[in-house]
Amino acid sequence: MANNISLIPPAALEKRPAQIVSEITQKPLRLDNFIANLPCMAFQLVLESNGVFSFSYIGEGSLALLGLSPLQLESDINTFLHLIHPEDSPSFRESMEHSAQTMSFWSWEGRVTLANGEMKWLVLGSTPQSGENGKIEWEGLAVNVTKAKLDEIELLRSQQQLREFSSHIQDAKEQERLRIAREVHDEIGGLLTAIKMDLAWIKERLPKSKKILTDKTSAIENMVGKAMTAARNLAHSLRPGYLDSFGIVAAIEMEASEFEQRTGIKCLLAHNEEEDEELELHPDVSIALFRIFQEALTNIMKHSRANKVEVLIHNSQEHIELTISDNGCGFSQDARSKPRSFGLRGIQERVAHFGGEVSISSTPEQGTRVYVKIPHFSGDSPNSARLARTQQSLF
């Protein structure tokens, strides 16, 4: 026949059958060498129907990863289990059992402590397969992610330190505001009151014939009255006195009323507290909620073009919730991500300071909703409780 076409490369035709068989048998060896040179440990794990599990294969990478030879790990899986950090051991077994029950991908992250005391973070990943006699087999990799995990922990620590610094600044600002408000109210307000009383005393004793003097005294008296009003408003803006005297619900109610009178935007308030019950919060939480409410109203006044605001305060045994909703123009995610969106970021930082939750949702032309939830605290300051939770999550 003419034009015969051979599917076998000419070089292969020159090889003897024994040579071809030799190359085929060398492929698993080359694969083992490839796996051994990876910065991880290949493994095969078998779970018997009676719940006993063991390694049926361990790659050479175990020596670099765990300081143990494959033979040591294959002969007794407890050699590996004893390396797992006590806090991470339950999650290892639970994640494996869940993978076996659901036949889903097995993913586990945890710490191991080597014989020399070195601690490493491992990530293990594998897909289960059904074997004979009800066995379940996993073939996967255990990867050393210590550097990445330490970098992650350091990043979280840095973020926490920045949050601590931001919280410290907020606390310092509130203390300074309180000090200035008291000085304005007590010192300046007291002096202005004394001046007004002296002016009234002088005015009563001026001759009625001295109209120019009495008119001038009246004008000065009016200016002193305006100064007293300005001082009172300044002290209120720095630290609303009724927040400390009557609590957060009354403070928000009065602030909402003043906002409605000032802007013409209707402000409706609802809460689940009885009239004869006073909501008791940690002072730091109260001022934080009040500042969040002020910031939300400022944003509504400046940007929303809304004509109605609804405020809901809901208190439970575990936490307090504050929701502020408007029917304004809303904003897009891009607008929220602008570099100078400090108002929304300030709200998030205040809530994070107490380990709470915040949700800011908005859709163009459909309004904006700010939801804040802060847990109640007893005994120590909210800051100490939040620090304890953060440290526990890091380590």
CATH number at residue 37: 3.30.450.20
Q: Identify whether residues 178 and 135 lie together within a single domain.
A: no
Is 12 part of a structural domain of the chain?
no
Q: Identify whether residues 58 and 188 lie together within a single domain.
A: no
- The closest of 273, 288, 302 to 368, measured between CA atoms, is 302
Average model confidence (pLDDT) for the chain? 81
Q: Identify whether residues 256 and 394 lie together within a single domain.
A: yes
Q: Identify whether residues 285 and 343 lie together within a single domain.
A: yes
pTM over 0.85: no
Last residue of a domain, one of 144, 178, 209: 144
Q: Identify whether residues 135 and 151 lie together within a single domain.
A: no
Domains: count for the chain: 3
Q: Identify whether residues 87 and 231 lie together within a single domain.
A: no
Please give the residue range of the domain that contains residue 163.
Answer: 147-239
Is 9 part of a structural domain of the chain?
no
Residue with the larger pLDDT of the pair 393 and 178: 178
Is 340 part of a structural domain of the chain?
yes
Partners of 112 in the β-ladder: 84, 120
Q: Please answer whether residues 293 and 322 qualify as being in contact, where contact means their C-beta atoms are separated by less than 8 angstroms.
A: yes
Q: Identify whether residues 140 and 106 lie together within a single domain.
A: yes
Q: Identify whether residues 152 and 195 lie together within a single domain.
A: yes
pLDDT above 60 (res 62): yes
Is 10 part of a structural domain of the chain?
no
Please report which helix (H) or strand (E) contains residue 80, including its range.
helix 78-81
Q: How far apart are CA 308 and CA 297, in angstroms?
A: 11
Is 68 part of a structural domain of the chain?
yes
Q: Identify whether residues 137 and 212 lie together within a single domain.
A: no
Please write the tens of the pLDDT for every residue from 2-12.
444 444 454 54
Please write the tens of the pLDDT for every residue from 137-167.
999 999 999 998 889 888 888 877 887 787 7
Is 230 part of a structural domain of the chain?
yes
